[in-house]
Chains A and B, each alone.
Chain A
Amino acid sequence: MSTLLSLQGCTVRFGGLTAVSGLDLKIGPHDLAGLIGPNGAGKTTVFNIITGVYRPTCGSITLGDKAIAGMKPNRIAGLGIARTFQNIRLFASLSVFDNVRAAFNLRLKHGFSHALFRFPAFYREEADVDRQVMELLDIFDLGRHRDVLCKNLSYGDQRRLEIVRALATRPKLLLLDEPAAGMNPTEKEALTRLVRFIKEKFEIAVLLVEHDMKVVMGICERIFVLDHGVKIAEGNPGEITKNSKVIEAYLGEQPPEAGTADA
């Protein structure tokens, strides 16, 4: 099995606090992987070093055969990693359409001078971007909201729009940070289907951070468990639910059966 993303011995320290410690992690080109662990375990920090928001204190990160640790986030996005944020970060003053359009910036052939002089090539490319944005929006049933300011969307639609915007960068790997947070059971089920659909349709790898075990078990084929910045387990859902370290550190207080019962 080939590897798309690989972290080797990654450690992140914030002053005295070690948020991530010696983390090894491998993701294949079509994996549906999950990263779970209690609050403050360092999951978001892992996303932040993969996407270049922080540089790991030590360790290496490679995407394909490129070392990306410490690269600027926009370059990493260009290499094929896109993400969503734990607290939704849409472009508040832009419409639904423009939020997605902005993500096409990366693939634009014509920049500054074309916007200024507006030759036919400019209009052709804009029309092309327009069409692709609408295609994406329609796939995710957001087309009818194209001119709505994104802050006026429902919470679930905002979460979905953030995913669409990430997909617009044409990633090889999509990182989703707690996409089901704040959703009701029906919405969570829809999200589970959505993520599986995205993997099939766009043929990409997904790494998911999520607290809801039902969502994680429903989506992920491979799960990494973090506790206090240390990877304590790794395996398929069946192995993880039986792992005694995981039960003690994380699942113990909230067994997956209970999650299923109240859903």
Chain B
Amino acid sequence: MSRYLRSKKVWLLLAVLGSALLSRFSGAINEYYLQVIIFVGINITLAVSLNLINGYTGQFSLGHAGFMAVGAYTASIVTLGVPLPLVTYPEPSAALFARLLGALVLAFDHAVNAVLWVANSGVAAVHGLPLVLQFVVALVAGGILAALTGLLVGVPSLRLRGDYLAIVTLGFGEIIRVVIQNTDAIGGARGYSGIPNYTTFFWAYAVAAATIYIVVSLIDSTYGRGFLTVRDDEVAAEAMGVDTTKYKVVAFVLGAFFAGIGGGLYAHTTTYINPAGFDFQRSIEIVIIVILGGMGSTPGVAFAAVLLTVLAEYLRFVAGYTFLPTWLRQLAANRTIIYALVLIALMLLRPQGLFGGLRAFGASATRKVPKAA
């Protein structure tokens, strides 16, 4: 019995079954509370996955909202089934140089349209499936596209260290947002509305459980110790044969994958997305959860996700309490100031994070194996 209780796979199964069971009763809860509870689950996914990059691997990424946006938009396009309009081909021109350039542009447009055609046919095909499967395909597609974006961002920028990486990822996150904002074909600044409300309690928490399982399982292995060596000392890690570049890319791509899935879940619970919802501030919020929970502590970060999501919602009420002085209500309405204060207090009092050093799931995998005699 105890052997099973110590198996991570059994815990994952229990968590998924538990989510399914609890989800049956979610109708009994006030709709607003349910929404907050679902946000908590999504934020756990986002923060735990960012923790793989920022906490365990020690690479400071500020681009999580960008990957979330990729996932949210991809998933919404799949479930909404909106065909993406093809690009119109340019008019042929007379001048020689313009003709050469025009030919290049034309070739590029043909390539783009081929991709769009494949995507549209894919979406159309998915719409023959039952709704649940449509949703799963949408989420996974969002995750994969976000992961590809992560690869694209990560490979050139992961050679940068510390602050530089933070700035580059922040820049990429903003680029993703601005590109979406200026692409009318996917709603531009207006965004998408009427996205089906598929994200139930079950989906939010099953995905959160899977994310925790994957991150914890990876870290708790000889292979996974590689992530920590990259964080602790890159030079020593390489001298011991650790391929630090590969570890950084794996962390980044996997982190982006779950951010993409989180984005898909988010889109299918708010039923409305626009580029402004995935701005820099969103990235900062997830980073703050990770720092609050203690970089490199999965239980800590998961708990901080609960704490900060609930706090953020509670502040909305505080802002509405007319018996409070105006300055206090304005403070409550301005979450970033509160976050900044929380961060300053944390850095002064507990720089390792609220739960830093907590290793509930952290014990060595090898302990579960009876020692070879």
A and B physically associate? yes
Chain A CB within 8 A of B92 CB: no
Chain A CB within 8 A of B29 CB: no
Contacts of A144 in B (CB 8 A): none
Contact B217–A118 (Cβ < 8 Å): yes
Contact A115–B217 (Cβ < 8 Å): yes
Contacts of B9 in A (CB 8 A): 118
The A-contacting residues of B in range 86-104, CB under 8 angstroms, are: none
Interface string of B112-125 (1 = CB under 8 A from A): 00000000000000
Q: A160 CA to B230 CA in the complex, in Å?
A: 22
Query: A111-B223, A112-B250 given as contacts; is B232 within 8 A of A77 (CB)?
Result: no
Q: A73 CA to B250 CA in the complex, in Å?
A: 19
Contact A115–B223 (Cβ < 8 Å): yes
Contacts of A236 in B (CB 8 A): none
Q: A93 CA to B225 CA in the complex, in Å?
A: 11
Interface string of B208-248 (1 = CB under 8 A from A): 00000010011011111110110111011111111110000
B7 to chain A: closest CB distance in Å?
8
Contact A83–B239 (Cβ < 8 Å): yes
Chain A CB within 8 A of B127 CB: no
Count of CB-CB pairs between chains A and B under 8 Å: 129
Contacts of A125 in B (CB 8 A): 222
Contact B228–A93 (Cβ < 8 Å): yes
A48 to chain B: closest CB distance in Å?
10
Contacts of B237 in A (CB 8 A): 74, 91, 102
Please tell me which stretch of B68-76, B276-284, B329-337, B365-373 contacts chain A, meaning at least 4 of its Cβ atoms lie within 8 angstroms of it: B365-373
Contact A103–B241 (Cβ < 8 Å): yes
Interface string of A44-61 (1 = CB under 8 A from B): 000000011100000000
Chain B CB within 8 A of A131 CB: yes
Contact A89–B229 (Cβ < 8 Å): no
The B-contacting residues of A in range 114-154, CB under 8 angstroms, are: 114-116, 118, 122-123, 125-127, 129-131
Contact B232–A169 (Cβ < 8 Å): no
Chain B CB within 8 A of A92 CB: yes
A159 to chain B: closest CB distance in Å?
14
Interface residues on A, range: 35 or more
Residue of B8, B232, B233 contacting most chain A CB atoms (<10 Å): B232
Q: A53 CA to B7 CA in the complex, in Å?
A: 41
Query: A126-B366, A126-B369 given as contacts; is B235 within 8 A of A91 (CB)?
Result: no
Contact B240–A102 (Cβ < 8 Å): yes
Chain B CB within 8 A of A97 CB: yes
B99 to chain A: closest CB distance in Å?
45
Chain A CB within 8 A of B364 CB: yes
Residue of B nearest to A150 (CB): B232
Instruction: Provide 28 A-B residue pairs closer than 8 Å at the C-beta atoms, listed in order of the A residue.
Output: A51-B239, A52-B238, A72-B238, A72-B243, A74-B237, A74-B241, A74-B244, A77-B240, A85-B236, A90-B236, A94-B225, A94-B229, A101-B222, A102-B222, A105-B240, A106-B241, A110-B223, A111-B223, A115-B220, A115-B221, A115-B223, A116-B214, A116-B218, A122-B221, A123-B365, A123-B368, A127-B372, A131-B372
Measured CB to CB, the residues of B under 8 A from A are 7-9, 214, 217-218, 220-226, 228-229, 231-233, 235-244, 250, 296, 364-366, 368-369, 371-372
